[in-house]
């Protein structure tokens, strides 16, 4: 199962860090997407628990974009899971084909899913019991509150109801949630509702999420259950000649900060 593969990678590399693979032509040090991302993977493969390519960056490349994605992740070791950041969401019949594309055609270990269509939009993904499904719950962007914080008549906010639904949909133990690092208080609330599910926490680094506060809020009672994702902070740590070395140093520093936050939490500090 995805969760077992994730935990094994976390233990092997002593890491809760995920590197997002988001190739932005305006930020890349050179124009060869696959070559650049393979350099990043090679430099960080012993420092991470997962990689997370965002499909938008590859789809924008045109008809060969997905082939470029596959070429970009060919160096990822087999024991490290790959999460497709796709945020797919549609009615059941269409969702079934989205799930087939991500899990069968492209063989990703997990995918992000938009829950706006309700259970039948998520279920086709969750039925792939060996794969992970991350429900987009409380995102890191500034406008998230426009919808996700809307109050409900019975009390609480919409994102809290999404968390409760994700808990109910976790019938096969493969459903997690996306909670942005920019909102530690909301992460803590999601963790309270979903004490045992994996939280994917993007938004550290370029989006200025509070890494330590977010990590402390997201860890479960055993000091696990999280994936902290950084993209631009690692990929574009430098655009100079030593961009690979700087990417590695940035990843190593993030891994260390996450582990220190975990140690402090477990020590009761």
Q: How distant, in Å, are the alpha carbons of 15, 47, 186, 219, 233 from that of 249? A: 14, 10, 30, 24, 11
* Structural contact between residues 36 and 57, judged by C-beta atoms closer than 8 angstroms: no
The CATH code of the domain that includes 36 is 3.20.20.70
Whether 12 sits among the annotated catalytic residues: the reply is: no
Counting the structural domains of the chain, the total is 1
Q: What 3-state class would DSSP assign to 268?
A: coil
Candidate from 127-136, 151-160, 172-181, 233-242 with smallest mean pLDDT? 233-242
Of 81-85, 182-186, 240-244, highest mean pLDDT: 81-85
Identify the CA nearest to 2 among candidates 157, 144, 133, 193.
133
* Structural contact between residues 250 and 201, judged by C-beta atoms closer than 8 angstroms: no
Per the structure, the complete domain to which residue 66 belongs is given by: 2-267
* Structural contact between residues 176 and 169, judged by C-beta atoms closer than 8 angstroms: no
For residue range 105-140, list pLDDT tens digits in order: 999 999 999 999 999 999 999 999 999 999 999 998
């Amino acid at each position: 199962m995805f969760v077992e593969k994730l935990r094994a990678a976390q233990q092997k590399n002593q890491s809760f860090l995920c590197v997002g693979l988001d190739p932005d032509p305006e930020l890349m040090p050179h124009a060869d997407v696959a070559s650049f991302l393979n350099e990043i993977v090679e430099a960080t493969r012993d420092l991470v628990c997962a990689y997370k390519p965002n499909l938008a960056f590859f789809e924008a490349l045109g008809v060969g974009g997905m082939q470029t994605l596959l070429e970009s992740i060919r160096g990822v070791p087999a024991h490290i899971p790959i999460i497709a950041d796709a945020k797919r969401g549609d009615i059941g019949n269409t969702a079934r084909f989205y799930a087939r594309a991500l899990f069968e055609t492209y063989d990703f270990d997990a995918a992000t899913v938009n829950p706006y269509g309700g259970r039948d939009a998520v279920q086709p993904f969750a039925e792939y019991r060996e794969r992970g499904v991350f429900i987009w719950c409380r995102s890191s962007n500034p406008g998230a509150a426009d919808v996700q914080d809307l109050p409900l008549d019975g009390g609480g906010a919409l994102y809290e109801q999404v968390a409760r639904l994700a808990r109910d949909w976790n019938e096969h133990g493969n459903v997690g949630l996306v909670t942005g690092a920019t909102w530690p208080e909301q992460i803590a609330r999601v963790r309270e509702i979903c004490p045992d599910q994996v939280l994917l926490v993007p938004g550290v680094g370029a989006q200025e999420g509070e890494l330590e506060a977010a990590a402390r809020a997201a860890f479960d009672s055993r000091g696990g259950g999280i994936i902290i994702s950084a993209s631009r902070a690692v990929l574009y740590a430098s655009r100079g000649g030593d961009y690979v070395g700087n990417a590695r140093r940035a990843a190593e520093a993030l891994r260390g900060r996450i582990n220190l936050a975990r140690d402090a939490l477990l020590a009761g500090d």
